[in-house]
A and B are shown apart, each in its own frame.
Chain A
């Protein structure tokens, strides 16, 4: 068993965070099955005070942020700023971070690398996904959303399987490509054209910054 800890944040206060919240359960289930040490902050617990305290005291090696973001920040419950460039990005020093938030690889990511983060993986533009509006009450049954979250989750699952950050990034990229090829088939489902365009967008916006050889 790996003694290192994973820390995952899962705010859940609007439709977008609800999907991130529920689809992260696949990661949690995998971690539980592999007896990986993890801390799961849900809902209101995803606030700056508690997140900072947890990172400093528990020193998790891998942090997965789910939620909203901007060029220079990652947000928690009700858009409370958790990590912001020039404020507290230094607390991520020596960590591996996967930020499933919009835009955070644009400015915050490079700043965390300057501050000594091991690896930052995130999106330099909005992380976009499609949903079936008849399934928003049961996100895990939403087949339209599955390709987006499967591609994203494979990154964390690869890290938990002791792959390097570079290998995990490649796994996520190849999962995006697997789905893209699936939706380009002549017998692909009717929603394919729209799923395809935003899968390509997410794949191309996902960036790895820092060390490609770090391990959880």
Chain B
């Protein structure tokens, strides 16, 4: 069983590999570079939880054999 803390660490490790020139627009939350994304995940605030949800969705899409 993977703990919530382990999931957070995995998401942060993946975000660390995000190229510096990219930013993500998450609707009304705003636009974030990788450091801001990581900070929200570390704080586990509303935005951080949404980022984790998106990352999990991506991984599940592969589990489903999705394109």
Q: Does B65 contact A (CB under 8 A)?
A: no
Q: How far in angstroms is the closest Cβ of chain B from A170?
A: 15
Q: What string of 1s and 0s marks CB contacts (under 8 Å) between B16-30 and chain A?
A: 011101111111111
| Residue of B19, B25, B33 most packed against chain A (CB within 10 A) | B25
Q: Let me know if B27 and A200 touch, CB within 8 A.
A: no
Q: Does A91 contact B (CB under 8 A)?
A: no
Interface size on A, residues (CB 8 A): 37
Q: Does B66 contact A (CB under 8 A)?
A: yes
With a CB–CB cut-off of 8 A, which chain A residues contact B26?
A: 102, 126, 128
Q: Closest chain B residue to A180 by CB distance?
A: B67
Q: Does B57 contact A (CB under 8 A)?
A: yes
Complexed CA–CA distance, A136 and B25 (Å):
11
**Given A16-B31, A70-B28, A133-B33, are A204 and B21 also a contact pair (CB < 8 Å)?**
no
Instruction: Tally the A-B contacts, defined by beta carbons under 8 Å.
Output: 80
Q: Let me know if B27 and A127 touch, CB within 8 A.
A: yes
Q: Let me know if B57 and A194 touch, CB within 8 A.
A: no
Task: Give the dominant DSSP class at A's interface.
Answer: mixed
Q: Closest chain B residue to A126 by CB distance?
A: B27
Q: Closest chain B residue to A129 by CB distance?
A: B25
| Residue of A103, A136, A177, A197 most packed against chain B (CB within 10 A) | A197
Q: Does A68 contact B (CB under 8 A)?
A: yes
Name the one of B21, B23, B50, B57 contacting A200, with C-beta atoms under 8 angstroms: B57
Q: Let me know if A128 and B57 touch, CB within 8 A.
A: no
Q: Let me know if B24 and A128 touch, CB within 8 A.
A: yes
Q: Does A44 contact B (CB under 8 A)?
A: no
Q: Does A184 contact B (CB under 8 A)?
A: yes
> A180-216: which residues lie under 8 A (CB-CB) from chain B?
180-181, 184, 190-191, 193-194, 196-198, 200-201, 204
Q: Does B61 contact A (CB under 8 A)?
A: yes
User: Could you list some 5 contacts between A and B, CB below 8 A?
Assistant: A16-B28, A75-B28, A130-B25, A131-B25, A133-B33
Which 10 residue pairs of A and B lie closest in terms of their CB atoms, listed nearest first? A102-B27, A197-B58, A126-B27, A68-B28, A16-B25, A15-B31, A133-B23, A200-B61, A126-B26, A131-B23
